[in-house]
Amino acid sequence: MISLTSGNNRPKEERTMNSDSPEILIVSGLPRSGTSLCMRMLEAGGVPVLVDNLRESDDDNPNGYYEFEPVKQTRLDPSWVRDAGGKAVKMVYRLLYDLPPQFCYRVLFMRRNILEILASQRKMLERNGLPTDTVQDDEMQQLFESELAESRRWMRQQSHLEVIEINYNELIADPHSVVQSIEGFLEQPVDVSAMEAVINPELYRNRRCSTPEDQPSTQV
């Protein structure tokens, strides 16, 4: 089962008092942490997703990337947010800081064993013919862990964010429990069976033994 903590859990009327728009669902995390899978699960569950399909599926993400290019320019042009209410959109964790605070967001933050993430990123670079030795793994691991810790501290302080952390490793091992917790967090009806059906353990590559970094899914 997933361990949930109260974190910044606030009454819904308090979370929405600054906005007349429906809450926006944000799927975030490090690259290669399971964000595309989470988007696919939400789509299967009946949640509208905000995507542009400009980036085609490939061997690294055979089921699609579920990206929406305007999110990368949120700091300069956040106009897309106004029409995103009730939809799910994917953005890398560093872009969360750019979200305009007058809207309310539910963030599904993906966590994964960082060594697995680094291995997955390395294989993607190799497949695209890009160098993989510019930064050592231990240096990248330290950087990612530091930035994730800072993101967690920051998210706890934001009144416009409601956040749940979803452990990718746990999602693959016990999808039913994790999906049920996601359903509870969303506070809206979703097709749980359909969400579970899109989880394919055969795509769980770069598997590592569990480490202290394998945190259980938590609400923060």
User: What's the whole-number average pLDDT of the chain?
Assistant: 82
Each residue of 71-98: pLDDT tens digit? 999 999 999 999 999 999 999 999 999 9
Each residue of 170-205: pLDDT tens digit? 999 999 999 999 999 999 999 999 999 999 877 554
Each residue of 41-68: pLDDT tens digit? 999 999 999 999 887 666 666 677 899 9
Supply the pTM of this predicted model: 0.80
Q: How far apart are CA 148 and CA 94, in angstroms?
A: 9
pLDDT in the model for residue 39: 95
Residue 139: name the closest of 156, 155, 118 by CA.
118
16 confidence band (pLDDT: 50, 70, 90): very low
Position 3 in a domain: no
Q: How far apart are CA 178 and CA 172, in angstroms?
A: 9
Number of domains in the chain: 1
Position 7 in a domain: no
Position 45 in a domain: yes
Q: What residue numbers bound the domain in which 210 lies?
A: 12-219
CATH code, 56: 3.40.50
In Å, how far are 15, 29, 31, 62, 217 from 58, measured between CA atoms?
Answer: 39, 20, 15, 5, 28
Position 154 in a domain: yes
Position 151 in a domain: yes
Position 104 in a domain: yes
Percent over 90 (pLDDT), the chain: 57
Position 1 in a domain: no
Q: For residue 128, is pLDDT > 80?
A: no
Token pair listed for 157:
């302080």
Position 94 in a domain: yes
Q: 119-130 burial, b for 16+ CB within 10 Å, e for fewer?
A: bbbbbbeeeeee
pLDDT in the model for residue 138: 83
Q: How far apart are CA 88 and CA 68, in angstroms?
A: 10
Query: Which distant-in-sequence residues (6+ apart) come within 8 Å of 130 by Cβ?
Result: none
Percent over 70 (pLDDT), the chain: 74
